[in-house]
A and B are shown apart, each in its own frame.
Chain A
Amino acid sequence: MRDLMAVTARPEVISLAGGLPDTSTFPPGTFAAQMTRIAQESAAEALQYGPTEGFAETVDCILQVMGAEGMLPDPDDVIVTTGGQQAIDLICKTLVDPGDVVVCEAPTYPGAIPVFCSYEAEVVQIECDEDGMRIEELEAVLSRLEDEGRRPKFVYSVPSFQNPAGVTLSLERRRRLVELARQRELLVVEDNPYGLLRFSGDPMPPLYQLDGGDFVIYVGTFSKILSPGIRLGWAVAPPPVMEKIVLGKQAADLCTSTLTQYFVREYFAEGRWQEYVASLVEIYRRRRDTMLDALEEHFPAQATWTEPQGGLFIWATLPDYIDTGDLLAKALREDVAFVPGESAYVDERGRSSMRLNFSGVSEDSIREGVRRIGRAIAEQVELYGALTGEHPLPPTPRREENKPGDVLPFRRSGEGGA
């Protein structure tokens, strides 16, 4: 499958496979002015090493971002990292020994799996539904592990607009998860790259806020609210854990890029970062709506998908006789790509699902891309029908077909949902 993903990088391919934010709307003039100011006023410092924990000024910016979601961490608990990805890596490096159990969602962030695996963790995945991770299943797994005399090192969750499923952990489940962590003295790693990218519905308190930072380690990033190219993320952890993370960071790369930290400092000093995030939210909201409309129009009746209230991704599930890894090969013949669901699982699950990104491509490309994928799926559905004598369901009307109570991993939310 990795080989197929290499083909998706061809320029003529409409790629709904990436996790890319749209950086084309960032004003080049602003970028040029800030970088020029850094060059003229602080060249020597900006080209120098920096502290392992990151500059205090960067941490101030991080506090502003976290404050926008109601979090008030102690600045000493924050470390600046080379993207959120490094934060996940450093947390694993600090906490995970070979054979340790790490619990995460099913599906989970595909980029986290290689990290867990490289530290030889045993990954246990908990099913999600439209309200995120099923906490009752988590409780059952924790109890089973306890009976076996094992304790997970942590529970990894992307609670808001999850990558890849697009679902959001409900408030009730958030409270329950934090409570469980406290009762069982269990660490939770909250990865929240998308929290500020909400298009609809009420904001949800992050786990870190509900918990107060005792059992929740927080991972954040500037990638989705500013730029992934600057590779700036952070982790927030209580002092004993943070000390080890700092040692790990020293070993990994000494410090995060000074230059890009200077850039963020300049950018935040303008005081308009929230305006930029608001403009992204508008763009992404339209793109999500375009994708949902296109899915409705072009995907066959047997397909289901999530309706995210924010973030970058929609997760679609097809009939179980369709392998989305093979479907990708067919889609690539039509110059369109997505991420096969298998990459979000450590086992064989997800083979009939796919992750679709709506943030990184234009509305026209979304419509065309979904149309082409829909046609490829329709051909497979029709072929399967011809091979088995099972004839496909009529394509319309969809809304009546998915009645509440349908047993689907991701039931589409109701009319009032998104």
Chain B
Amino acid sequence: MKVAVLKGGRSLERSVSLRSGARVEDALERLGHEVVPLDAGSDLMTRLAAERPDVAFVAMHGPGGEDGTAQELLAILDIPFTGPGVAACARCMDKVLAKHELREAGVPTPDWFAFNETAFRELGAADALDGLGERLGFPLVIKPSRGGSSLGVKFAASRSEVPEALVSAFSYDDRVLLERFVDGRELAVSVLGDEPLPIVEAIPSGGDRYDFEARYEIGRTEFDCPADLGDEEAEAVTAAALGAYRTLGCSGFSRVDLILGEGGPQVLEVNAIPGLTDTSLLPQAAEAAGMSFEELVERILQLAQPAVTH
């Protein structure tokens, strides 16, 4: 099969995407496919139209590749593509939208309030911050609505730290959410097709859960897969993850990030196109399920969206 691998692009997660893409290309070649690597730029449409691949493997992360944009272009060109469709990508990328949908569907997600910049600049929303702090409690998690890899995610330990954290989060998106901090175990459930893979737990070795940077520094976070959970806990986590995956309309594959606190699992976000690098969680989960990376890639290809999505 002729497979175009879409990677790179101009999102802040470009470098992760290039690594995901390169690894997928290697696997596809070993599987005997004809591989067309495409670093998504202004010539993407022209090149796709010229190459006419049988299927596009979307290995892009962040806005542009994971938010439905690239998927829409592929749909216009009638090229089948891997991963979730346009609408699911758009819902997953926008955390505020996703949380509304999850809550409506009864999937547990931490309490939050969302603001865009205009609210603070023009509508005096700053006056509401005191009340919000009281309602959500401290520490408070402040994050851009769109974006991945925990870029721009800040913790405010007290009211006085909120403005600086907001300035940082607004650097990444014009909408941010303030979310109740849930203390608990950090878990990720990857879903392939409609099947949940073994649960991965991220264990920060420094012990400081507030430091999201720890996740991306080698040696500062350990991953345990399958996570050491009781049957009931594992069942609740998997149910919440599948609930989130289905509610947001995901298909093909995605990864659901959760916190398991005292009150049970809470869904933080769904990554429509999770990382596929050699340190990423989805490949780890697949391996724990006895799947090689090649088998994972082949399965993702089989699950590709048909040519017309709407």
Q: Which residues of A contact B (CB under 8 A)?
A: 2-4, 6-7, 10, 321-323, 326-327, 329-330, 332, 376, 380, 382-384, 386-389
Contact = CB atoms under 8 A, between A and B. Distances in A.
Nearest to B149: A3
Given A7-B10, A386-B126, A321 B163 contact: yes
Interface stretch (B167-175, B177-185, B186-194, B220-228): B167-175
B121 A383 contact: yes
A137 to B, nearest CB: 28
Nearest to B162: A387
8 shortest interchain CB distances as A-B pairs: A6-B15, A387-B163, A330-B171, A326-B171, A326-B168, A321-B164, A3-B15, A329-B171
A321 B121 CA distance: 17
Interface residues of B, number: 26
A364 B189 CA distance: 50
Centre residue among A321, A380, A387, A388 by max chain B CB count within 10 A: A387
A328 to B, nearest CB: 8
B166 interface: yes
Interface in B72-101: none
Nearest to A328: B171
A10 B11 CA distance: 11
Contacts of A326: 152, 167-169, 171-172
Contacts, number: 69
B126 A329 contact: no
B172 A330 contact: yes
A6 B171 contact: no
Interface in B240-267: none
A382 B121 contact: yes
B59 to A, nearest CB: 15
B284 to A, nearest CB: 20
A2 B12 contact: no
27 contacts: A3-B15, A3-B16, A6-B15, A7-B11, A7-B12, A10-B10, A10-B14, A321-B163, A322-B167, A323-B167, A323-B171, A326-B152, A329-B12, A329-B171, A330-B170, A332-B12, A376-B171, A383-B117, A383-B121, A383-B166, A386-B121, A386-B126, A387-B120, A387-B126, A387-B166, A387-B167, A388-B163
Contacts of A2: 15
Given A323-B168, A387-B120, A387-B129, 15 more contacts: A3-B14, A3-B149, A6-B14, A6-B15, A7-B10, A7-B11, A7-B12, A321-B163, A323-B164, A326-B168, A380-B171, A383-B121, A387-B126, A388-B163, A389-B126
A321 B169 CA distance: 12
A332 to B, nearest CB: 7
Interface of B: 10-16, 18, 117, 120-121, 126, 129, 149, 151-152, 162-164, 166-172
A164 B172 CA distance: 26
Contacts of A389: 126
Contacts of B10: 7, 10
Centre residue among A2, A10, A322, A329 by max chain B CB count within 10 A: A329
Nearest to B127: A389
Contacts of B168: 323, 326
A381 to B, nearest CB: 9
Contacts of B162: 387
Contacts of A382: 121
B163 A329 contact: no
Given A326-B172, A329-B152, A383 B167 contact: yes
A380 B163 CA distance: 10
A7 B163 contact: no
A7 B14 contact: yes
B16 A380 contact: no
A326 B120 CA distance: 19
B126 A380 contact: no
Nearest to B16: A3
A330 B170 CA distance: 8
B219 to A, nearest CB: 14
Contacts of B171: 323, 326-327, 329-330, 376, 380
A386 B14 contact: no
Centre residue among A2, A321, A326 by max chain B CB count within 10 A: A326
Contacts of A322: 167
B274 to A, nearest CB: 16
A149 B285 CA distance: 51
Nearest to A5: B15
A306 B96 CA distance: 42
Contacts of B12: 3-4, 7, 329, 332
A329 B170 CA distance: 10
A344 B273 CA distance: 34
A383 B149 contact: no
A327 B171 CA distance: 6
A384 B163 contact: yes
Contacts of B120: 383, 386-387
A191 to B, nearest CB: 28
A382 to B, nearest CB: 7
A180 to B, nearest CB: 36
Contacts of A323: 164, 167-168, 171
A332 B14 CA distance: 12
Contacts of A330: 170-172
Contacts of A3: 12-16, 149
A319 to B, nearest CB: 10
A321 B165 CA distance: 9
A245 to B, nearest CB: 31
B170 A383 contact: yes
A384 B163 CA distance: 6
Nearest to B42: A12
Nearest to A6: B15
A376 B171 CA distance: 9
Nearest to A320: B164
Contacts of A6: 14-15, 18
B18 to A, nearest CB: 7
A369 to B, nearest CB: 17
Centre residue among A2, A327, A376, A388 by max chain B CB count within 10 A: A388
A315 B167 CA distance: 22
